[in-house]
Structure 1
Amino acid sequence: MAPPISANFTKLKTNLRLSIQRLRLLGKKKTELTQKSRTEIGSYIFTGKIDRARIRVEHIIREDYLVEAFEMLEMYCDLLLTRFGMIEQMRTVDEGLVEAISSIIWASHKIEGCPELKVVADLLSKKYGKQFAIAARDNSLGRVNKKLLHRLGVEIPPKVLVEKYLVEISKSMDLAYEPDPTILNANNLNIMDKFLLDLETNDPNPPLIPSIPPNSSPSSTIPDELAVSTSNGNKINPQELDNNILSLNDDVDDIENFLPEVPSSLPELPSQKDFNQQETVKLKTDLDFEELTKRFEALKKSK
């Protein structure tokens, strides 16, 4: 839907940066106050005032929820700054920014001490129209972050969470505290029930592995593209070739029958020449020639 009034983008960017700083500062102050409240709760546990300690723990839990909400809104403001070009260029809400913008508009009237966030929400409402702003404020579209809805909700903290806070505070201050076992056992299951998978079955035996049907082998009909052509033009199915291949698990007798028979009478090989005898004849011929040469020279000298 096209907005009737264009937003002031410079003012929007400035207030987004100021909102990040303000939310960070508020979260830091809340954390410091929570640390002081823990010391007060420790003194209640030490003096045995467990009921008063539980009431103070509920307050701490709400403050911790608020700090988490500050961090989430700070993250959303940072996301809008990162994708600010999309906000400037697009007239409608981008799908990747619907949750961030809806959460900021919804939470702007629930956060105290951060007027910059309200300015951001008003500018975004002008940018995307009154109808979108009303839907985000009422969360009629269900696009507000569910965790943020819980952190800024008005529900009373569960008893099991209060008990666990008391245990952790006692451990950090070396105080002796015995938690209520009925709260830890009963309420813990009720709270975590929706986050767990139901792994219980009525059958104590494990499920059986499905059996493989006897005809689960690949189909014998193989496309022509996979057929092997022979020299005479016929096509042979690859499955038939596999059946003709000898298995490694066959008996030794089958292997021997598969191999060709060796003939009993071997043909005679041609005789090889005696190379040593040829060398002896050659050497003897050389010696006779030298002896004749000497005799011929001796006859010349006698003449």
Structure 2
Amino acid sequence: MGFIHRRTSKQTGKVKTLLGLALSHLAIARRPRLARKSISRGDVHQLLALGHVDRALHRAEHVIEEDNMLEAFNIIELYCNRLIEHTKQLDKPYECDDDIQEAASGIMFAAGWCGDLPELLFARTILANKFGGDFAMMAKEGNGSVDPVLVWKLSGNKRNMELKKKVVKEIANEYNIHVDFSELQEMVDHEQDGSNNVHHHELSHETIYQIDMDESSASDSGHSSLRNGNSCDISNSDGSNNGNTKQKVTPSVRTRR
């Protein structure tokens, strides 16, 4: 029995060391993400200043991604400190209070999403041995004691249109730029009416975004692009077209200034 106790204490000490290393790497991992977030916010500002609301919405995804990871880092840092401070409780995992279980499950979930913090993978293995297979499985899936906020920050949908709009509006307000998302939707409605002769009174934000993504991938410059197949009608001076047929040109979705 004494041997088991010494072994468990050794594992607990190893977890403490691993979490300490993770804390050190957190400070390093934050720097490039803070830089990328700042650059992405600047890009959104410039695109809004040029009137490219659709492209600003796309760029907002990068702002959301970096911001979510930075906030996840804050939660992970809190959990690491909590477990380090109360490592003795890990020797009796089934007697741990809710805060310790939340921290342990949060670390186990985050380990699968944070390549910047490889120590968490080793810590997860030890914690899984301590808390058991069922606890570990639920934690890895983001269930059980895992904080839903952490789950969202690490695995949530970065392309959520309402969230992107919120970010764009915040940046626009910061620089006193007026943003009208209805103009973007009206342009899409107009194109749908012209190309399909079908009146779509309302399109979801997700549909608008998908159309913009299809168009954006067709051009490296991104400021104006046409769908594939935008050939013009070539006619001879006598009015004939040598068998060439007109091909429909569908304008890309862009916000006009």
Matched with 2:249 is none
Map residues 261-280 of structure 1 onto 2, 5 A cutoff: none
State yes or no: 1:178 paired with 2:196. Answer: no
- 1:137 and 1:172 mapped to 2: Cα distance? 39
Map residues 76-225 of structure 1 onto 2, 5 A cutoff: 76-88=79-91, 90-96=92-98, 97-139=100-142, 142-174=144-176, 176-180=177-181
In structure 2, give the amino acid aligned to 1:147. Answer: V
- 2:159 and 2:50 mapped to 1: Cα distance? 24
Which whole-Å deviations, capped at 9, do the CAs of 1:148-179 have from their partners, x for residues lacking one? 111122424443332232232233345x3323
For the Cα contact (< 8 Å) 1:30–1:63, is it kept in 2?
A: yes
Matched with 1:227 is none
State yes or no: 1:35 paired with 2:38. Answer: yes
> Please, what is the CA RMSD of the aligned residues?
2.7
After TM superposition, the score normalised by the length of structure 2 is 0.61
Matched with 2:64 is 61
How many percent identity over aligned positions?
26
Secondary structure, in 3 states, of the residue corresponding to 2:121? helix
How many residues align? The count is 179
Deviation at 1:134, TM superposition (A): 2.1
For the Cα contact (< 8 Å) 1:99–1:145, is it kept in 2?
A: yes
Deviation at 1:118, TM superposition (A): 1.2
In structure 2, give the amino acid aligned to 1:126. Answer: N
Matched with 2:23 is 20
- 1:157 and 1:128 mapped to 2: Cα distance? 35
After TM superposition, the score normalised by the length of structure 1 is 0.53
Unaligned runs of 5+ in 1: 188-303
- 1:61 and 1:91 mapped to 2: Cα distance? 36
Which whole-Å deviations, capped at 9, do the CAs of 1:76-100 have from their partners, x for residues lacking one? 1110011112123x25351231111
Secondary structure, in 3 states, of the residue corresponding to 1:112? coil
- 2:53 and 2:130 mapped to 1: Cα distance? 52
In structure 2, give the amino acid aligned to 1:123. Answer: I
In structure 2, give the amino acid aligned to 1:144. Answer: V
For the Cα contact (< 8 Å) 1:24–1:74, is it kept in 2?
A: no
In structure 1, give the amino acid aligned to 2:57. Answer: R
- 1:144 and 1:150 mapped to 2: Cα distance? 11
- 2:167 and 2:117 mapped to 1: Cα distance? 29
Which whole-Å deviations, capped at 9, do the CAs of 1:7-46 have from their partners, x for residues lacking one? 5233211111111122233233212211111112222112
- 1:20 and 1:114 mapped to 2: Cα distance? 9
Unaligned runs of 5+ in 2: 185-203, 205-257
- 2:36 and 2:76 mapped to 1: Cα distance? 21
Deviation at 1:139, TM superposition (A): 4.2
Larger Rg: 1
The structure-2 alpha-carbon separation of the partners of 1:48 and 1:139, relative to structure 1 and needing over 3 Å to count, comes to: closer
